[in-house]
Structure 1
Amino acid sequence: MKQAFILRGLPGSGKTHYAQTLADELVAGDDSQFTICSTDDYFTDEDGCYEFNKSKLSQYHNLNLARFINALAQGIPLVIADNTNIKKWEFIAYTSAAQAMGYQVKEVIVGEVKDKSMQHLYAKRNVHGVALKTISKMAHIFEW
């Protein structure tokens, strides 16, 4: 069975960790059997340094969607979209593409979106330096 997971959650909530754990559990971490598609990858250089550039966000989201669709087209058994996906429009193209290609699609909300104490934790532990104010704003506009 081919599966696509659409991860949703605030920065620092553990989406990337969840994605890797999911791959390890479902396909025993066999790199040929899964693809994790994260827009964050496009902001990371060869040395592993992350540098966010807002002007590139739309372009990188499009590249990430193309990577996701390419993985589906290759028939990779497990394809994971690892983005915040705060608004439904942000991931509908992922869901539609996966369904059109015969994948079982599961949307997973990682972490606690509305819990203020968790938002503080996420602000401290997210690796991209997203401030608490931004995380709280994202939580406020999160679409269920």
Structure 2
Amino acid sequence: MKQVFILRGLPGSGKSHYAQNLVDELVAGDETQYAICATDDYFYNEQGEYHFDKFKLSEFHNLNLARYINALAEGIPLVIVDNTNIKKWEFVAYAQAAHALGYQVKEVVVGEIKDKSLQHLYAKRNTHNVALRTISKMAYMFEW
């Protein structure tokens, strides 16, 4: 069965960790059997340093969507979208492409969105230095 998991959650909520656990559980880490598509990947330079550039965000989201569609077209059995996906429109193209290519789609909200104390934890542990203020704003805008 071909599966897509669309992860949703605040920065620091554990989406990337969740994605890796899915890979380990469902395909035992076999690199030919999965793809994790994260827009964040495009913000790393050759030295492995993360540099967010809001002016490149739209371009990088489009590159990530293209990579995702290529993975589906190749028939990779497990494909994971590892983005915040705060608004529904942000991931509708991912879901539609998966359905069109015969994939089962599961939307997974990782972590608690509205819990203020967890937002503080997420701000401390997210690897991209997203500020608490931004995380709280994202939580407020989150669409169920």
**One-letter amino acid matched to 1:115:** D
Q: Which residue matches 1:128? A: 128
Moved more, 133-142 or 46-55: 46-55
Q: CA RMSD in A?
A: 0.4
Map 1:1-144; keep pairs closer than 5 Å: 1-144=1-144
**One-letter amino acid matched to 2:108:** V
**One-letter amino acid matched to 1:141:** M
TM-score (norm 2): 0.99
The separation in 1 between residues aligned to 2:46 and 2:2, in whole angstroms, is 31
Shift of 1:47: 2.0
Shift of 1:57: 0.2
Other structure's SS at 1:31 match:
coil
The separation in 2 between residues aligned to 1:16 and 1:91, in whole angstroms, is 17
Q: Give the 4+ runs in structure 1 shifted more than 2 A.
A: none
Shift of 1:69: 0.4
The separation in 1 between residues aligned to 2:46 and 2:92, in whole angstroms, is 30
**One-letter amino acid matched to 1:75:** G
Shift of 1:143: 0.1
**One-letter amino acid matched to 1:120:** H
The separation in 1 between residues aligned to 2:44 and 2:108, in whole angstroms, is 24
**One-letter amino acid matched to 1:102:** G
| Unaligned stretches of 5+ residues in structure 1 | none
Aligned residues: 144
Shift of 1:45: 1.6
| Unaligned stretches of 5+ residues in structure 2 | none
The separation in 2 between residues aligned to 1:44 and 1:111, in whole angstroms, is 25
